[in-house]
Structure formats: structure tokens, C-alpha cells
Structure 1
Amino acid sequence: MAKTLEPAIAYCEDGFAIRPHVWNFWNTPEIAGRMARYQGMTQDPSVAKIYTKDGKTLLGIGDILRNSDMGRTYRRIAEHGVEDFYSGAIARQIADDMAANGGLITMEDLAACRTVETEPLWIDYRGYRIATNQPPGGGLVIAVMLKILEQFDLAAMGHNSPDYIATVSEAMKIATVDKDTRMGDPAFFDIPFDELLSEDYAKACAERIRRGEKMDVPRLNSGADPKETTHICVADTDGNCVTMTHSLGSSGGVITEGLGFMYNNCMMVFDPRPGHAGSLAPGKARFTALSPTIVFRDDKPFLLVGAPGGTTITMGNLQAILNVIDFDMDAQQAVFAPRFTTTSNTIELTNRIPRSAERELQRRGYPTKRHPYSYMMPIVHAIRLVDGRLDGGADPSGDGMAMGT
């Protein structure tokens, strides 16, 4: 049966609008929204032959996954160079499959792909210099939150006290609304950097929080964040360091026969409404919460942080930074400490945050959601560098680890 690629519609996880989502492989109207992972692994025969035993049963833990098609693709790139992927035989194979099945990628699209390099986004926080990534990455979200929170004595509130959680949550909500409405691909959208990073804006937001005002952050869907992202922090005693987040975004459930790799479907993150920060447009980069960050003290690297975790990434990275700077935690303590995330009107809490704090938040009018586990997304990783010594922390909710060599 030939694949029919008709766009389905899904409610968004990280914005206000309905957004175009994954392809509906078999033209079945009942698939409308984030398709089940099982469907994405079984409905395209080119996918099922790799990831299932019999076309229907997914490989289990301990089973051997064999993907000879991807191996051959790697060899072709090794022998003919990366140009084979963007303008050569592999590109032609991709474009022909797209044309045959109603896809949108052409040879011209592949040939036009370029790596975009940008300078870091720099801000100050309590005497530290912080370098993070530019939009459409999530670094500006972290910057907005830090500028607001610098107006408060967080340490005096007490870590994860009701005052602390409410204050940080409001900063999270303000930055989330700013992200949804005023951040996007700077090549397509005029981001008001000067205003968002100004002292006047930070002070005005802080005053609203002090008055007890609550930012409204409507959400249409509360689906789980995808888990196709990885992060690594690396540092040495000479101060050389790297913090890098890599994401597959979301697996699309489609493989061109013979190539072995699955296409991404992160077009779902765009806003289908024209005229908005995240509106869909040809050649436009979608917003991502990826936000690898380095904190400098006395012009030397002091803290590396980063995480996978979809829309929650910026919130986890923020708390790791606050834990180290405001509460003097080492890297392991900073990523182990109980966290919360607030990207809607509901404050989501890990099960290790005291119920007394949750009850007080509820008394103040905050809806809460207590997760039944000790750790939740994102999966934060960090390295701290102090006086030539390094300490690291890997979030125990994932399969990472801190290791010295």
C-alpha cells in the first residue's frame, strides 16, 4: 500500500494554537493529533522492517536491532562526502520519495541547507556572566527569567519554600508568554531584545509578582514532552569546556526505503496562524527550548548546564543555575534537588517537594500537579569548576552519569 502523506492536526504542547503535526500515513481520519509511538514504528513498512520482529511486534529490551540500510547510507557518505546527502545520489533518493508520496522536500531544499553560526547571548546575573544560545533556541527564555529573579532575594526565601516556588513560577510563566508571543526565528520575526533584557522590564515584572498578580498562560494540550534529545557537558582543568544539546526533535514514522533513517516531524511545533512569532513559513526555523549555558565567574568558566526535556528544558536549566549561584550547591546537588516546572497556569511538582509547600501554594490560588515520582523532565546535566577542581552531576531520572578521566 502506498503511503499517503496528508497533514494531521494536533493541539500544541508549548504554545497557544493548534499546529500542524505528524503525517497521517494511511489516510485514516481517526489519527488526528500526536500519534501513538507504536503507530510511528509500525505503519510504514520501511520503518517496521527495522524496528519490529514481524511487522507488528516491537523489538524488546535485549533484542538486536539491525539496520543495514543506515549502515550503507553512512558508507555512501564516507565514500562520496556529505555532498552526496545534500546534492548527490542520496538527495535524489529523498526527493524522489517525497515527490512520489506527496512530501514537500525537494532537491533545491536539500541543496540550500546551511549551518547557521551565531554569537552567544550574554547577560549578567548577581555578578556572574552568563553565555547562552540565541533564538530560535531557548537561551532568551532563561535570560528573561534570570533578569526578573535578580530583583528578589531568593536565598532569603529558602529553597523550594512556597514564596520561592511562587516567585520563580511567575517568572517562568512570564517568560513562557514572552516566548509564545515575542520570540521566534530572528530571520523572520523582530524580537524585542532590548525590551526583554532591560532593567525596566525586569523591575516591572518583579513588581507585578510582588503585588500578587498571576500571569495567565493558557494551554490547549498537556501532552508529555518527547524524549529524543540528549545532552553532554565536558570540561578539563585548563578551563576548556563544551555544553551541547542535540535533538532529533520528534520521530516522524517515515523512512525512505533503502536509506535507514527516520524523518523528523518537528513542523508540528510551528503555529499555523499567520502573523505570529511561531507562524509556519518556508525556510523558517522553529523555536526550541534547547539552551546549553555556561556561567562565568571572574571571566573563567564556572558552571556548565544543559538538558533534554522538550518544553521543560529552560525551566530545569534555570533551577540548576539558581541552585549553584543562589544556594551554593555543587553540580550534583544542583541537579539532584527537587524541581518544579510552570509552563501553564499549573505548577507541576516532583514528589519530593513537601506537601505543606503545595498546600500553601494552593491556598494562594495556584493549581498544582504532583507527579508521582522523585524526578521529572528535564534531565539536567552540569559541571562546576572551582579552583581548578571539577564536580559534575547527572540527573538520576535519565541514563547519564558524571565521570572523570
Structure 2
Amino acid sequence: MLMLQILNMLENFEIGALSHGGTEHVRLLAEAMKRMTIDKDQHMGDPAYVDVPVERLISKEHAAAQADSIRRGERADVKRLERSSSRETTHISVVDCQGNAVALTHTLGSPSGAITPGLGFMYNGTMSRFDPRPGRAGSIAPGKRRSSSAAPTIVFKDDRPFIVMGAPGGSYIAPAMAQGIMNVVDFGMSMLEAVAAPRIVAVSNSIDISNRIRRSVSAELAALGYDIKRSAQSYPFAALHGIRIDDGRCSGGADPQRDGMAISVPVG
């Protein structure tokens, strides 16, 4: 849902006509991400406990209204707890020789690794991801399930899989996934280019940017009044792993700063 919100908002702009990683590109990404975050904090929770208006949140009408706000230069104000991204999530994207595709994301939430012998899976520790503040959609409650940021995705083109993608990265997953998909669809990148391109995230009132984004861009954003935080890493903010399928031919890409890789296994 979160990734779809970002994509729906930004389809109201000619993203592919912008300079990738330029000032306006980063500004539009950031404002869409901040509005997604506000909706997430207000509405996203266990539907058995809170009303989650999914259809409205992912509607084109809601996205268009948000896009109009961005176009008018209105700046979203995100009041939320700052949390670091965890490193206990794994993603795989797979396509076989018959064209079957799988995008699978598994997370522990914290490095618990507890298992019941014979069941074959590890228990997660994601209770730590509840909002400790009472009265909110994500607040902790007895028997309540927490929301997940995981977004394993298959994008179809002409009724066939075109992009198979996912990522670890906690609250950074949806922003990173939206950028990866737009890199392929709007900027025409290969999968390796798409997952390796500089990214940004804005899930608070700060804009966190990759160290590879030009300093002239961060200076221009700061001059507009944005709080810019430059990462020391070249490839920060989640870790995209994906496959692009063109006329039955697959090409893969894995985040260059993580341990993942793209491999092809011969058949027969």
C-alpha cells in the first residue's frame, strides 16, 4: 500500500523528464514520501483493531489531491519517532525458465532467530516495531498484529511479469521500491542501473540522501528550507534486488553495498 501511494502521487508528474537525482526530482520524491508516512502513521495497523481505509488511500483521487498539494509548493509536516533501519530482513527475486516469477521477503524484525524444531522457520521479533505511544493505529495491544513494511512486488506488462523486485530495509523499503520501479519504467534503466542509482528517503521532516547525490543539489534543497542529511554510504536506504524481463530474457541486479547478488543457473 505504501509503495503504491508514492507511485500514484508521482504519476501526476513527468518524472522521466526530470534530471535523475536533481533538485526537483528529489523534492518531489521527498514530499510524496512524507505524505505517505503521514497516512501510514495515522491509518496503518491491524484491521481487526483499527479502520484502515485502503481503497481511499490507494485511490487515484487521493493521490491527485496530494499531488496538487505538492505542486502548490505545500510542505508536509511529519511528526514521528525516529527509528533506525534494521538489518534482519532478506529478499529474493526468482524467475524460472518457464516464466514463473516469485518475489519473497522474510524478516525477523530483530535478531531473535528462535525456532521450533521441525517446523522449518524462525520466529520474528517485530513486536518491537509497535508504536509505544497509546491511541494510535500502530500502538501495541493484546493479540494485535503489527503492520509490515515488506513490499515484494511483481510488475506486469502486457499481462506478463516485467519487473520482479523487493528489498530489506524496514521503513525505507517502500520509498526505495518506488524509486527502483520508477528507475525502470520512467527512466528506462536496466535492472542493475535501477537498483544501484542514488536514492533518497524522507520518512520524517529530514531528507536523507545518498552520498552520490551532487552537493549542489543538497545545497539547493537546503536553500529551499529543507533539512538535508547526507549519508556516509554510497548505496544507502534499503537494498533493492530485482529482475527485469524483456521478451523472455532476464537481467538482474542486486544492491552493490550488500551481500546479495544476481545469478543465472543453467538448466539441463
Query: Do residues 146 (structure 1) and 3 (structure 2) align?
Result: no
Q: Which residue of 2 aligns with 1:322?
A: 182
How far did residue 199 of structure 1 move?
A: 2.2
2:11 equivalent to 1:155 = no
RMSD over aligned CA atoms reads 1.9
Structure 1 ranges of 4+ moved more than 6 A: 253-256
In the aligned structure 1, how far is the partner of 2:259 from the partner of 2:212? 20
- How far off its partner does 1:209 sit? 0.4
Alignment partners' CA distance in 1, 2:80 and 2:133? 16
- 1:160-171 equivalences in 2 (<5 Å): 160-171=21-32
SS in structure 2 of the partner of residue 179 of structure 1: helix
Q: 1: distance between equivalents of 2:97 and 2:162? A: 11
Deviation at 1:272, TM superposition (A): 3.6
What residue is the counterpart of 2:105 in the other structure?
Answer: 245
Deviation at 1:267, TM superposition (A): 1.5
Alpha-carbon offset, residue 254 of structure 1 = 8.7
The aligned amino acid for 1:324 is V
Distance in 2 between the 1:304 and 1:214 partners? 33
Q: 1:352 aligns with which of 212, 215, 226?
A: 212
Trace 1:232-311 onto structure 2 (pairs within 5 A): 232-251=92-111, 264-311=124-171
Q: 2:42 and 2:58 mapped to 1: Cα distance?
A: 16
Q: Are the counterparts in 1 of residues 200 and 237 from structure 2 also a CA contact under 8 Å?
A: no
Q: Is the 8 A contact 1:362 1:368 kept in 2?
A: yes
Matched ranges for 1:25-36 at <5 A: none
State TM-score, norm by structure 2.
0.92
Do 2:154 and 2:164's aligned partners in 1 also have CA atoms closer than 8 Å?
A: yes
Alignment of 1:110-259 (within 5 A): 140-221=1-82, 223-251=83-111
Among candidates 383, 386, 402, match of residue 243 of structure 2: 383
* Structure 1 unmatched ranges of 5 or more: 1-139
Deviates most, 202-211 or 281-290: 281-290
| Percentage of matched positions with identical amino acids | 50
Residues 28 and 70, structure 2, Cα contact 8 Å, conserved in 1: yes
TM-score of the superposed pair, with normalisation by structure 1 = 0.62
- Aligned match of 1:365: 225
Secondary structure at the aligned position of 1:251 is classed as: coil
Distance 1:169 1:391 in 2: 29
8 A Cα contact 2:130 2:138, kept in partner:
yes
Structure 2 match to 1:82: none
1:360 Cα deviation (Å)?
A: 1.0
Q: How many residues align?
A: 261
Q: Which consecutive unaligned segments of at least 5 residues does structure 2 have?
A: none
In 1, the alpha carbon distance for the partners of 2:104 and 2:172 equals: 17
Query: 1:113 matched to which residue of 2?
Result: none
Match of 1:402 in 2: 262
Whose Rg is larger? 1
Contact 2:201 2:207 in 1 (8 A): yes
Amino acid at match of 1:213: E
1:290 counterpart letter in structure 2: A
Gap change, CA 1:263 and 1:390, over 3 Å in 2: closer
Distance of 1:337 and 1:254 partners within structure 2:
36
| TM-aligned CA deviation for residue 156 of structure 1 | 1.4
1:208 shift after superposition: 0.6
Aligned residue identity for 1:385: I
1:333 Cα deviation (Å)? Answer: 0.6
Deviation at 1:237, TM superposition (A): 3.9
1:65 corresponding residue in structure 2: none
Moved more, 269-278 or 307-316: 269-278
Tell me the CA shift for residue 157 of structure 1. Answer: 1.7
Cα distance in 2 for residues equivalent to 1:191 and 1:309: 23
